[in-house]
Structure 1
Amino acid sequence: MIPLTKALERIKCPTDLINFIINLFKNRKLQVITAYGLSKGFYAGDGIDQGETISPLIWRIFYDPLLTRIKDIPEVGYRLITQWPSSEGTDINKTQHELKTSVVAYADDTAWIASNKKEMETIIGISNSFFKLNNIRINGDKSELLVWNAPKDVIKSIKMGTNNDLVVAKKPSQESKYLGVYIKSQAGSSHIVKRVKNEIKSMVNLLKYKKITESQVVYVNNVVLMARLEYWLKCTFLTQNQCRTLHNCMILLLKQKMRITKSANNNIFTHQGLVGMTSLLQHLRTAQYADFIVRINSQEWDGISTRIILRNAQLRAGLAGCILTIEPSKLLQVNIPNNFNFNILKDIKDQLFNFDAINVDDWHLDILDTTILDFLLQPNYNHNNTRLDHDLSERK
């Protein structure tokens, strides 16, 4: 228990509190409740038990020195960067906005993040020394490796765990589960959409032949199904048509239980003053809009990463004004696939919501000529002629 004691001393816990916590896990005698009464007592090994009320807090305190050590290595980790141009006269300067991350952890579920294989080996080497020091065994067979955009000549495998088990990278189309969220290295969200579709169908098949009322169907949909789908779709943008198509079979089930024709308008069933079923589109947009507003105002890494991604989107779209406050008509003309934050912002703008940016000038680009987007939005522009190509060639 010495490492735990040192970890508690590191965060300046009082001596009495340290002794109290250590005594909870030291020299414990346990008995098991059986059908025939209590078993004979036996001594448990020293350590933090899973499932204990205090375990998540204690594990975080104990694990924090390793996470801090990894985060403090400047040359290790993935960097999210945008080079933001600014012009003053003839001198061109660029301001760099950067976020570095090398680890994401919840309790003992840890994701190491690196820009290349050498960095990953450095992280694993440091973590293995920590685990060995504290007599913690890591099962390499339960570890998974995801690789994005690796060179073809790089061996996509790594050694993990106490026994140096070889972990081979998953194929781009294969997904991994981390904290209930499914991730794959291949671009796109088709795997999430497929999983959502199967979950809704499974729920419908489970309830189809049950003798339940429409109120029970609405409750299962609103309380059970929506919460599960919201979590899976935290970082997935679905269009209105996708949401309606996926959720339609659940509404058909409700119509069946109410003995109403299938051709009845779905608005009857999702109206909160009538049946009150929450649609997937309504629930998802409410949750994602709220999350976006929290992120964009956050000063932590979630807010920093969101703003960097939006800055990159603004540069890619060629928008001179702040992407958060620009008029919706311009933003709706831009399409950037697989950019979740941009698509959420675009959808918010489509609903005529607006933002008051405190540092709006920091997002402004000094563009001396007409942007391509402004040119395309001119009322007299004919999309079928070649004038745009001619003008662009003159401005190069």
Structure 2
Amino acid sequence: MNIWPTDIRDQSTWQQFRLRVLVIAYMNDTSYLNSSGDKIQASINIATQFYHYHNVDINGKKSELIVINPKLPRDDLYIIIGRDKLKVQTTDKEIRYLGCYFSSSNSRKRSIKRIKDIIEKFLNPIRQKRITVGHIAYLINHILIPRVVYVAQLMTLSKNEWNLLFIPVIKLVKQICGLPRSYPISALYHQYILGINNPWDHICANQITSFTYLINSNSLASRSIMIRCSE
């Protein structure tokens, strides 16, 4: 796919692509993203009018606002939403949206601690139960790893960091299997021994699959990726 111009300054080699997407949005789990508060407020006003015409109320108390790199004083960082004209002030706390967490400051330590808490919350009830090797492998592969990978999709962790986070899991697996601490971890990951998945391998496999699909498709996303790879 040759979409990169020979001379970027030659407008005759440029290509333009347009995409029209029809969207039906409801206020539940709806996010507004824009470069300024005025633009977001304008979008919210249009949505408020739509719901007003259909006699639908918006619960502004459940609305939250994040402002990244603000240029205005904190008191001026707010939006007005709903029929009652509720004022929603910006927050420095994390916001949970569709299972992921967002904040105005990307705190790496806080994100890693959350993953640790998820793993510990998963392991605590298992420590009190008698389960088989097959059960623990299934729970790790189909519940724990998809959960932590989904929560961590907004951050980048190295292979070593994932291995450190997974140490309590490996320790518990060895205890359940009656294995010594010196037992090689690679054997636990072997598909013909225990078959436990590794979160790092899971992430790499998903990203490679998605990337392969996109670069072999004929979509705007594919063209955008090819241009970025050529930069």
Q: Does 1:159 align with 2:80?
A: yes
| Whole-Å separation in 1 of the counterparts to 2:118 and 2:105 | 22
Residue equivalent to 2:134: 215
Q: 1:160-182, CA deviations, whole angstroms, 9 ceiling, x for partnerless residues? A: 122111111111xx221111121
2:17–2:220 contact (8 Å) kept in structure 1? no
Q: Does 1:121 align with 2:41?
A: yes
Between structure 1 and structure 2, the one with the greater Rg is 1
| Whole-Å separation in 2 of the counterparts to 1:99 and 1:143 | 33
Q: 1:129-178, CA deviations, whole angstroms, 9 ceiling, x for partnerless residues? A: 1010001100000011111122134721111122111111111xx22111
Of Structure 1 and Structure 2, the greater helix share is in: 2
State the Cα RMSD in Å.
3.2
1:230–1:287 contact (8 Å) kept in structure 2? no
Structure 2 gaps of 5+ residues are none
TM-score, normalised by the number of residues in structure 2: 0.82
Opposite residue 175 of structure 1, the aligned amino acid is E
> Matched residue pairs, number?
223
| Whole-Å separation in 2 of the counterparts to 1:246 and 1:204 | 13
Q: 1:2-38, CA deviations, whole angstroms, 9 ceiling, x for partnerless residues? A: xxxxxxxxxxxxxxxxxxxxxxxxxxxxxxxxxxxxx
Q: 1:201 to 1:129 in 2, by over 3 A?
A: same
Equivalent of 1:281 in 192, 196, 200: 200
Q: Does 1:248 align with 2:185?
A: no
Q: Does 1:168 align with 2:92?
A: no
Q: How does 1:5-24 map to 2 (within 5 A)?
A: none
| Whole-Å separation in 2 of the counterparts to 1:185 and 1:253 | 36
TM-fit CA distance, 1:235: 3.6
Of Structure 1 and Structure 2, the greater strand share is in: 1
Q: 1:90-141, CA deviations, whole angstroms, 9 ceiling, x for partnerless residues? A: xx4687999999x995783211111101111111111111010001100000
1:268–1:274 contact (8 Å) kept in structure 2? yes
Opposite residue 150 of structure 1, the aligned amino acid is P
Q: 1:132 to 1:97 in 2, by over 3 A?
A: same
Residue equivalent to 1:257: 176
Equivalent of 2:103 in 174, 184, 201: 184
Equivalent of 1:144 in 58, 64, 78: 64
Larger RCO, structure (CA 8 Å, separation 6 or more): 2
| Whole-Å separation in 1 of the counterparts to 2:161 and 2:187 | 20
Equivalent of 1:201 in 120, 123, 140: 120
Q: 1:299 to 1:286 in 2, by over 3 A?
A: same
Structure 1 gaps of 5+ residues are 1-83, 312-322, 324-362, 365-396
Q: 1:253 to 1:108 in 2, by over 3 A?
A: same
TM-fit CA distance, 1:189: 4.4
| Whole-Å separation in 1 of the counterparts to 2:157 and 2:199 | 10
Q: Does 1:112 align with 2:32?
A: yes
TM-score, normalised by the number of residues in structure 1: 0.50
Residue equivalent to 2:158: 239
Residue equivalent to 1:130: 50
Opposite residue 123 of structure 1, the aligned amino acid is S
